[in-house]
Structure 1
C-alpha cells in the first residue's frame, strides 16, 4: 500500500491530485483525517513498532470521530466518507474502489442462517445515511443504496436499492452524479 492510495482518496474529495503538504492541510476535516490515518495504519499494519503506533492512533480517532473501520478491512482506492460519525464496517468486509459511504452506515457480519458471513461490495457504490448491509451478500458495481435501506440479499450491478425490506430496481445510471472524481 503506497501513498498513491491516499492521493486517490483525497482526489475524490477535491477533484485534483494534491502534494503531501496539501493533503496534511486538508486533515482538519475529521473524515479526511480519519482516511489518512486509516491508510497509514493499513500500510504499516504488519511492521511491529510503527504499525502499533498507527493502530493506537487510529483507535484513538475511532473513538473521537465515531468511525469503526479497522486497518485489516479491504477497501479499494478512492474511498469517500462524506460526513463523519457513527460508521461501522466489519473488518472482514471487502469494499471496491470509488465508493461513497455516508454517516450512520453499518456493514456487518451475520453469525447464523443462510447468509452467515460478511458483505462484499463492488466498485462505484454509493451507500446513503443509516443504510445497513448485513450478511454474506454481494453488492455489484454501480449500485446506489438509498438512505435507511436494509440490505440482506445480493444486489446486481447497475441497481438502486430502497427500503426495508430492500426493493431492488435496475438502473444503468444508478450512481451518475452521486460518485464524482473517480480514480
Structure 2
C-alpha cells in the first residue's frame, strides 16, 4: 500500500476508495468527514505554531457547530469513522485503535474514583453504538461490538459483543463482521 495520510485512510473508510485532496475536500460537505479532516489537521501541527493555532481554533469552532468533543490530544488510530454527527464526547486521554466506528451520543470518559479511576484504552476494529458509555481505566480488546445504550466500566476481551446496562459480555469471533467496512 502506498504511503497514504491519516486523513486519506479515514476517508477511505467512508467510500472504500483512495481519494485525492480535491476529492477529500468535496466530501467535506458531510459534517462527520469535515470534522475528521479538521481534527487530523489540528493533530498534525504543534500547539504553539501558527498553523497549529489556526487548526485548533478551527477545530473548536466545529466542536461547537457539530457537537463533537474530541480534542487533538486524543490518540485515535487511522481509519476512524464517525457514523453520525452530534453529541459525542471523548476524553483527551483516551486511546482508540485503528478502524473504529463511533456513533452519535457516545461518551468515552474518565472515572474519577474507585478501582477503575482513569481513562479507557480501546483496541482495533471496535464498533461503538449510539449512546454507549465507556468509562474508567479499562481496556476494550480488538474486534469488539458495543451495542447501543450499553454501559461499560469493565475490561472487555477481544472478539466480544457487549450489551446492556450494566453491560454483559458475549464471546463472538465475528463480533464486528458487517459493521466495520473498508478496513485499512
Pairwise same-fold verdict (TM > 0.5)? yes
1:157 matched to which residue of 2? 158
Q: Is the 8 A contact 1:45 1:55 kept in 2?
A: no
Pairwise mapping of residues 91-130 of structure 1 onto structure 2 (< 5 A)?
91-130=92-131
Distance 1:47 1:140 in 2: 35
Partner SS for 2:5: helix
1:21 matched to which residue of 2? 22
2:142 matched to which residue of 1? 141
User: 1:47 Cα deviation (Å)?
Assistant: 4.8
2:31 matched to which residue of 1? 30
Partner SS for 1:83: coil
User: 1:49 Cα deviation (Å)?
Assistant: 1.0
Task: Please give the TM-score of this superposition, normalised by the length of structure 1.
Answer: 0.98
User: What is the root-mean-square deviation of aligned Cα atoms in Å?
Assistant: 1.0
User: 1:48 Cα deviation (Å)?
Assistant: 1.5
Distance 1:55 1:159 in 2: 36
Distance 1:3 1:53 in 2: 24
2:86 matched to which residue of 1? 85
User: 1:46 Cα deviation (Å)?
Assistant: 3.4
User: 1:45 Cα deviation (Å)?
Assistant: 3.3
Task: Please give the TM-score of this superposition, normalised by the length of structure 2.
Answer: 0.97
Distance 1:45 1:82 in 2: 28
Length, aligned pairs only = 182
- Stretches of structure 1 lacking an aligned partner (at least 5 in a row): none
Q: Is the 8 A contact 1:45 1:71 kept in 2?
A: no
Partner SS for 1:25: helix
Partner SS for 2:130: coil
Runs of 4 or more off by more than 3 Å in structure 1? Answer: none
Distance 2:46 2:127 in 1: 27
1:72-124 residue CA offsets vs partner (Å, 9 max, x unmatched) = 00000000001000000000000000000000000000111100000000000
Partner SS for 1:33: helix
